Amino acid sequence: EAQVTQNPRYLITVTGKKLTVTCSQNMNHEYMSWYRQDPGLGLRQIYYSMNVEVTDKGDVPEGYKVSRKEKRNFPLILESPSPNQTSLYFCASSWTGLIAPYEQYFGPGTRLTVT
């Protein structure tokens, strides 16, 4: 079954404790992306990756890191989480056209709470 998986689905942590949210897709998509969703703000792109070892900042990259060492995986790293990073996070993947990414396949989401 074609899917995007994220782990963990729920996470409660404390300020400053490094954490990683994993994302994996089995569709051989080139494009992968992380979004955060906050009430009233919709979905905001954090980082995206066009392919292995190619990453770029989205709208709200501050406080986050990503890496793309393998095509199927795109982990999101919070080196020193803060309460304002409490949010619902989605990973997504897609094929890439000549000028823009195609339809995004979203993972189930990770609800992160930083106290």
Partner 1 sequence: GQQVMQIPQYQHVQEGEDFTTYCNSSTTLSNIQWYKQRPGGHPVFLIQLVKSGEVKKQKRLTFQFGEAKKNSSLHITATQTTDVGTYFCAGNVQHSGYALNFGKGTSLLVTP
Q: For residue 39, what are its two tokens?
A: 């009430």
Supply the minimum distance, in Å, between the C-beta of residue 41 and partner 1: 6
The count of residues interacting with partner 1 (CB under 8 A) is 29
Between 1 and 30, how does the x/- string for binding to partner 1 read (CB under 8 A)?
------------------------------
Select from 21, 24, 34, 48 the one that contacts partner 1 (CB under 8 A).
48
Contact window for partner 1 (CB under 8 A) among 14-22, 64-72, 79-87, 95-103: 95-103
Q: Tell me the residue type at 105.
A: Y
Closer residue to partner 1 (CB): 53 or 59: 59
Binding of partner 1 at residue 46 (CB under 8 A)? no
Q: Tell me the residue type at 46.
A: I
The answer to whether 33 and 91 have CB atoms below 8 angstroms apart is: yes
**CB neighbour class for 46 (10 Å; exposed up to 12, middle 13-18, buried from 19):** buried
What is the 8-class DSSP label of residue 27? Answer: S
Q: Tell me the residue type at 106.
A: F
- Tell me which H or E stretch contains 113: strand 110-114
Kindly list the residues in this chain that would bind partner 1 in the complex (CB under 8 A).
31, 33, 35, 40-45, 48, 50, 56, 58-59, 90, 92, 96-97, 99-109
